[in-house]
Chains A and B, each alone.
Chain A
């Protein structure tokens, strides 16, 4: 019993100590000026080079802090749950669509962003933000197929079609060595593309066809995986993975660096695929729109933008960045698609809640069967 009282006492002390700490922090924050001359970024994991940040901190005489998310759902969920104080977000098109409709974004002052002229016009004026009132393109990825080149050549399998992840005649040779994305929208998009529909198709009949296709292929898949496929491809546990181009770039780089006897390659399927364009937007909860605008303009400078692509292997809509990007990345058509491929890429549109619930039900059925 005595022990119980001691513990309770300790607990009370702990509470006092903790609350004490926070108020001290706030005082410190207020002392260092109006919101501390800090630019607060809410960004993807590993989506900016440390050198770029340091250079910006020097030019603006400010500090950059970053919080990270690993997918758009996480970003939206955290903002919906009340995360505030972010000056800049970097959402993908469909998530940005949602944020615009929620009224969560501030309109950009383009007079402060002269470098906007560097952006390839084909990446401006997307359906989500036709006049780029809210958004400036940052970088893009494609959703495609990554594979172990030597293994697939040995098995004589096609690598340029979604058939490799959906057709049992190919799948039976790579059973248990293939993963697909654990994302309702992305996997449906791949199946819809393979069936010849639009990636953003919302026709329920087409969804049911896609579901049947997925359930037929599922027994051959090892898992639904959003991140672990990078490592597993690079060490040779997986032979095929459905995933993002920048992740595949990392996997290919890892396999090369560790001197594996195989190489990882990735190709945009000929049926077409999903293009995810990430844009910089101002969140309404931000305290420093001035710094945010400066940062956007800074990131649009060719050299700074190129650093991102050289680090992560993301696609880059910035024409001024081209001269600074490693030539082997520019030459990779899975990262910088040619015009013919570009015409087959599609951005995902946001869907309404009735469609989301239906899709979730289909997804649950896919997982359970």
Chain B
């Protein structure tokens, strides 16, 4: 028993170290960076130059300062962007859930020999590059595309104004849902596949109709799958920047875009790090919530 435990430790040590080092070290760098002064030409101000920083009205302590946090909290604008990103992430997650659930159920209930093929089909889009798939949506949603012409001719037939689908919040939602849908389907399927069909039979015997059987038997059992799928969609969407950059319109800025801007256009590392830390805290809160909710309800 003791020997077995030792082997287990030895084997799991390298990946654990890998995760620890490559998670902890960058996070620490980021935390320290967020308390520094930005350099005149980008990067960070040297730690040993208090005279230059004193001119900004904040002398700091050993070249460390709360200035970036002060800037973040003194402006409602940044809270608005966080709120907006949460709304986009929540909406995408809900749409993914509604679309993924029937698919996952279909796969879980089909004959075993087809399941692997169906899972393969769900995963297949990953075989092509993420950016190429997003650019493909640019073509599909573009104003001169066949799809756009069809939608607009239908709208016109009913007397509505034609719409521009590309460069809109709608396009951003289409992109995020499209990219993240498999991340919702897979955990849901793994969960639904394990359900014991006997329970449904029992419910039927007790007089439950189709709807009651789903709502009272299948749904509560699938909650852990729902929550882990939701976390897998919600968290990446919260930090993404490429999709709003490519498909979004003039108002589609999310925290991801803002952070990217700090490191590229503005070259303001401390503020970029502060934003990243705030995002990380927000994600941690949400993950904590999901883990709490995803605990299996039925004690086994």
Contacts and interface: CB of A to CB of B under 8 A. Distances in A.
Tell whether A and B belong to one assembly. yes
B41 A350 contact: yes
Nearest to B163: A176
Contacts of A15: 14
B258 interface: yes
Interface residues of A, number: 48
A359 B266 CA distance: 8
B81 interface: yes
22 contacts: A8-B14, A11-B14, A15-B14, A73-B267, A77-B42, A77-B264, A80-B42, A176-B143, A176-B164, A176-B167, A219-B250, A221-B250, A222-B166, A350-B41, A353-B38, A353-B267, A356-B268, A360-B262, A360-B265, A363-B261, A364-B258, A368-B253
B268 A360 contact: yes
A74 interface: yes
Contact of B40 (A73, A185, A352): A352
A102 B41 CA distance: 7
Given A223-B167, A223-B248, A356-B266, A364 B253 contact: yes
B267 A356 contact: yes
A237 interface: yes
For the complex of A and B, 4 pairs with smallest distance between CB atoms:
A367-B253, A223-B167, A73-B264, A360-B266
A235 interface: yes
Contact of B11 (A8, A74, A185, A354): A8
B102 interface: no
B19 to A, nearest CB: 11
Contacts, number: 112
Contacts of A183: 265
A354 B264 contact: no
B79 to A, nearest CB: 11
A222 B250 CA distance: 6
Contacts of A232: 142
Interface string B150-167: 000000000000001011
Chain B interface size band reads 35 or more
Nearest to A180: B250
A73 B264 CA distance: 5
Given A8-B15, A176-B164, A218-B250, A235 B41 contact: no
A246 B12 CA distance: 54
B279 to A, nearest CB: 15
Given A8-B11, A8-B12, A357-B271, A367 B251 contact: yes
Contact of A360 (B11, B138, B261): B261
Contacts of A101: 40-41
A179 B246 CA distance: 12
B77 interface: yes
A182 B43 CA distance: 22
Interface string B246-261: 1011110100011001
Contacts of A363: 261, 265
Given A77-B264, A228-B138, A360-B268, A368 B81 contact: yes
B164 A222 contact: yes
Nearest to A103: B41
A354 B56 CA distance: 8
Contacts of A110: none
A341 to B, nearest CB: 28
A77 B263 contact: yes
Contacts of A184: 261, 265-266
B100 to A, nearest CB: 25
A295 B211 CA distance: 75
A357 to B, nearest CB: 6
A179 B268 CA distance: 27
Interface in A161-205: 176-177, 179, 182-185
A241 to B, nearest CB: 13
A76 interface: yes
A237 B142 CA distance: 7
A73 B265 contact: yes
B75 interface: yes
A224 B250 contact: yes
Contact of A357 (B14, B138, B264, B268): B268
B265 A357 contact: no
